[in-house]
A and B are shown apart, each in its own frame.
Chain A
Amino acid sequence: QKEVEQNSGPLSVPEGAIASLNCTYSDRVSQSFFWYRQYSGKSPELIMSIYSNGDKEDGRFTAQLNKASQYVSLLIRDSQPSDSATYLCAVSSGNTPLVFGKGTRLSVIA
């Protein structure tokens, strides 16, 4: 059974701080890793993808991957109240559907 684990939160950070969201996965052959953002009452939207070990930066977002530790994280710099949402980690092993974690709820306090 492939599993993706996330802390459900809520994770509360003050505006302007760095929010750190973490995810672990069980399937060692996982190849692709994604972060989705889901606002309350809306559907998930893809915000980051990462495929190789290390960091990948896109604006205020940085995804970090460590395949040896089976760990992927998302850092949000200069957090804004508009970043308040649930963040879903998803993992792909190639020719099977994405496996989603249950999500971490982030609350950015103004």
Chain B
Amino acid sequence: GAGVSQSPSNKVTEKGKDVELRCDPISGHTALYWYRQRLGQGLEFLIYFQGNSAPDKSGLPSDRFSAERTGESVSTLTIQRTQQEDSAVYLCASSLSVSRADTQYFGPGTRLTVL
């Protein structure tokens, strides 16, 4: 079956512009997670959604970052007024639920470059 998909795969933008990154989770997965991974670094948790509950935004680094999810489907991560330090790979993952970590799978990521 289809895995987690993300688009675009690569995004180059100029400093100060807004960007939107998209994630399509595995069908039936109620939990969806966003992570950031800077070059050579570990995974940095940003936000997660579980069903219709309020998202856990505790990892968002600043108010320039926001995310939305439509029901238990697509999610978009928006970064406003991008800065060079936002350059990273943004990874999305989904799982059947947050308590079913054994079903967590990652998408291929979006590589964001801010010039």
Q: Can you show 30 pairs from A to B with CB atoms below 8 A apart?
A: A32-B102, A42-B108, A43-B91, A43-B106, A43-B107, A43-B108, A44-B43, A44-B91, A44-B106, A45-B105, A45-B106, A88-B42, A90-B101, A92-B101, A94-B99, A95-B99, A96-B98, A97-B33, A97-B45, A97-B48, A97-B56, A97-B98, A98-B101, A98-B104, A100-B42, A100-B43, A100-B45, A101-B42, A102-B41, A103-B42
Closest to A90 in B: B101
A34 interfacial by beta-carbon distance below 8 Å: yes
A49 interfacial by beta-carbon distance below 8 Å: yes
Which residues of A approach B to under 8 Å, CB–CB?
A: 32, 34, 42-46, 49, 88, 90, 92, 94-103
B109 interfacial by beta-carbon distance below 8 Å: yes
Give the residue among A45, A46, A97, A98 with the most B Cβ atoms within 10 A: A97
CA distance A97 to B59 in the complex (A): 11
Q: Which residues of A contact B33 (CB under 8 A)?
A: 97
CA distance A33 to B108 in the complex (A): 23
CA distance A92 to B95 in the complex (A): 13
Task: Scan residues 1-21 of chain B and give those whose CB is less than 8 A from a CB of chain A.
Answer: none
Closest to A99 in B: B45
Q: Which residues of A contact B107 (CB under 8 A)?
A: 43
- Given A34-B101, A34-B102, A43-B107, verify A102-B56 contact (CB < 8 Å): no
Q: Which residues of B contact A94 (CB under 8 A)?
A: 99
CA distance A6 to B95 in the complex (A): 24
Closest to A33 in B: B101
| B98 touching A95, Cβ below 8 Å | yes
Per CB-CB distance, the 8 closest pairs between chain A and chain B, nearest first, are A102-B42, A43-B106, A92-B101, A100-B43, A97-B48, A98-B101, A95-B99, A49-B102
Q: Which residues of B contact A102 (CB under 8 A)?
A: 41-42
Q: Which residues of A contact B56 (CB under 8 A)?
A: 97
Q: Which residues of B contact A42 (CB under 8 A)?
A: 108
CA distance A94 to B105 in the complex (A): 17
Q: B81 → chain A, closest Cβ, in Å?
A: 27
Q: Which residues of B contact A95 (CB under 8 A)?
A: 98-99
